[in-house]
Structure 1
Amino acid sequence: MTKNSQAFNPQEFEKRIIDKAQTDATYKQRLLSNAKAVFEEELGQKLPADLEVQALQQSMKKLYLLLPMQVDELARNQVLSEEELEAVAGGGALGTLLRLGALVGFGITGVST
């Protein structure tokens, strides 16, 4: 669980979940079947109701390509200002999502933007 007094590190959070899934079959199955609940448990707080979280596992016969969010579209629709857009630019998908969330109304306690 992320402690309020610690700065949130998206890469460490992702690594912790992956490492745990690789060593705990029950945790892995929960992650694959209800990733949002696992994220909420690990973060120690609820995520927005309209946020979907999905965990997938690659195999020798199934690969996935993750396309980044189109944050420039959020700026065009005036969801983000140019300054906010700069704040979420770069980084991994999880880090971008959490920084974006902090800017548009849902925050993860301890997230440093």
Structure 2
Amino acid sequence: MLHDPAQLDLMFQALADPARRQMVDRLSRGPASVSQLAEPLAMSLSAVVQHLNLLEASGLVRTQKVGRVRTCQIEPKALRAAEHWINERRLSWERRLDRLGDFLAEN
């Protein structure tokens, strides 16, 4: 997933929405049903399902339906991919700033 720019774009798009980030935050504490995820949100159940569909398409969340209950859980691999991408950029900038600091200290 990390090497697929389209998948990474979809993941960051999914995380760009506050409601979806709230769902991911809730799921980071453990699995939850769609109804449980919808409870604190000021939106219809169908809107929650649309948000979940995007989270699932991005790879951040996976769902399983047992009977009438759809249970969602976080996909840690996807979060690691986003974390890796961000860390690569952070390390690159830290190296650049360290070189700048060294240069400025010499002059």
User: TM-score scaled by structure 1?
Assistant: 0.25
Q: Which has the higher helix share?
A: 2
* Greater C-alpha Rg: 2
Q: Which has the higher strand share?
A: 2
User: TM-score scaled by structure 2?
Assistant: 0.26
